[in-house]
Amino acid sequence: NKTSSSNFIKNIVAEDLKEGRVQEIATRFPPEPNGYLHIGHAKSICLNFELADDFKGRTNLRFDDTNPAKEDTEYVESIQEDVRWLGFDWEELRFASDYFEELYDRAVLLIKKGKAYVCDLSAEQMRETRGTLTQPGQDSPYRSRSVEENLDLFARMRAGEFPDGAKVLRAKIDMASPNINLRDPVLYRISHAHHHRTGDAWCIYPMYDYAHPISDAIEGITHSICTLEFADHRPLYDWAIAECEMDAVPHQYEFARLNVTNTVMSKRKLKLLVDENVVDGWDDPRMPTISGLRRKGFTPESIRAFCREIGVAKAYSIVDERMLEHFIREDLKLKALRTMAVLQPLKVVITNYPEGQTELLEAENNAENEEMGKRQIPFSREIYIEQDDFMENPPAKYFRLFPGNEVRLKHAYFITCQEVIKDEAGNVVELRCTYDPETKSGSGFNARKVKGTIHWVEASQAVPADFRLFEPLITNEAEEEDKPFLECINPNSQVVQSGFVEPNMKGIAGGEKFQFFRHGYFNVDPKDSTGDKLVFNRIVSMKSSFDP
Ligand code: ATP
Ligand code: MG
Ligand code: MG
- Full residue range of the structural domain in which residue 167 is found: 8-255
Task: Give the phi and the psi of residue 237 in degrees, each rounded to 5.
Answer: -55, -50
CA distance 292 to 271: 13
Note whether residue 299 is domain-resident.
no
CA 31 / ligand 1 centre spacing (Å): 7
Can you spell out the DSSP letters for 208-230? HHHHHHHHHHHTT-SEEEEEGGG
Give the model confidence (pLDDT) of 54-107 as tens digits: 999 999 999 999 999 999 999 999 999 999 999 999 999 999 999 999 999 999
Please compute the mean of the pLDDT values over residues 283-289 and round it to a whole number: 98
Q: For strands 414-422 and 428-436, give the pairing.
A: antiparallel
State what percent of residues in the chain have pLDDT above 70. 98
Judgement on whether residues 88 and 211 belong to the same structural domain of the protein:
yes
Say what the pLDDT of residue 191 is. Answer: 98
Judgement on whether residues 120 and 251 belong to the same structural domain of the protein:
yes
Give the model confidence (pLDDT) of 127-151 as tens digits: 999 999 999 999 999 999 999 999 9
Judgement on whether residues 119 and 227 belong to the same structural domain of the protein:
yes
DSSP lists the bridge partners of residue 361 as 377
Judgement on whether residues 247 and 346 belong to the same structural domain of the protein:
no
Q: For strands 428-436 and 382-386, give the pairing.
A: unpaired
Note whether residue 369 is domain-resident.
yes
The DSSP secondary-structure symbol of 27 reads E
* Residue nearest (by alpha carbon) to ligand 1 atom 15: 31
- Region of poorest pLDDT, from 217-226, 250-259, 479-488: 479-488
Atom of ligand 1 nearest to the CA of 265: 3
pLDDT of 440 higher than 80: yes
Judgement on whether residues 346 and 239 belong to the same structural domain of the protein:
no
Judgement on whether residues 246 and 392 belong to the same structural domain of the protein:
no
Say what the pLDDT of residue 547 is. Answer: 43
pLDDT of 488 higher than 60: yes
Dihedral sign for Cα 534, 537, 541, 544, please.
Answer: negative
Judgement on whether residues 176 and 49 belong to the same structural domain of the protein:
yes
CA distance 386 to 373: 26
Nearest by Cα to 347 from 376, 389, 405:
389
Judgement on whether residues 247 and 350 belong to the same structural domain of the protein:
no
Residues with CB under 5 A from ligand 2 (ion): 32
Number of CB atoms found within 10 A of residue 452's CB: 14
Residue finishing a domain among 461, 496, 519: 461
Nearest by Cα to 361 from 439, 434, 417, 416:
439
Note whether residue 468 is domain-resident.
no
483 or 349, which is more confident:
349
Note whether residue 111 is domain-resident.
yes
Judgement on whether residues 93 and 226 belong to the same structural domain of the protein:
yes
Atom of ligand 1 nearest to the CA of 33: 10
Q: Considering the entire predicted model, what is its pTM?
A: 0.95
The number of distinct structural domains making up the chain is 2
CA distance 485 to 250: 39
Judgement on whether residues 357 and 209 belong to the same structural domain of the protein:
no
Q: For residue 548, what pLDDT band results from cuts at 50, 70 and 90? A: very low
CATH number at residue 71: 3.40.50.620
Q: For residue 545, what pLDDT band results from cuts at 50, 70 and 90? A: low
Note whether residue 317 is domain-resident.
no
Q: Which of 257, 258, 269, 273 for a ligand 1 pocket mutation test, highest count of atoms within 8 Å of Cβ?
A: 257
CA distance 300 to 366: 22
* Selected catalytic residue, list 70, 143, 197, 257: 257
Question: Could you tell me the CA-to-CA distances from 434 to 179, 410, 419, 477, 488 in Å, in that order?
Answer: 80, 16, 10, 49, 49
**What is the average pLDDT score of the chain?**
96
Residues sharing a CB contact under 8 Å with residue 85, sequence separation 6 or more, in sequence order: 290, 294, 300
CA distance 478 to 482: 9
Residue 443 annotated as binding site: no
Instruction: Identify the three-state secondary structure at position 409.
Output: strand
Say what the pLDDT of residue 177 is. Answer: 98
Say what the pLDDT of residue 528 is. Answer: 97
Q: For residue 4, what pLDDT band results from cuts at 50, 70 and 90? A: low
Note whether residue 295 is domain-resident.
no
Residue finishing a domain among 428, 461, 494: 461
CA 234 / ligand 2 centre spacing (Å): 15
Residue finishing a domain among 255, 284, 311: 255
Judgement on whether residues 72 and 166 belong to the same structural domain of the protein:
yes
Say which ligand is closest to the CA of 70: 3
Note whether residue 415 is domain-resident.
yes
Query: What is the ipTM for the molecules in this complex?
Result: 0.95
Note whether residue 292 is domain-resident.
no
Judgement on whether residues 218 and 343 belong to the same structural domain of the protein:
no
338 classed as catalytic: no
CATH number at residue 382: 2.40.240.10
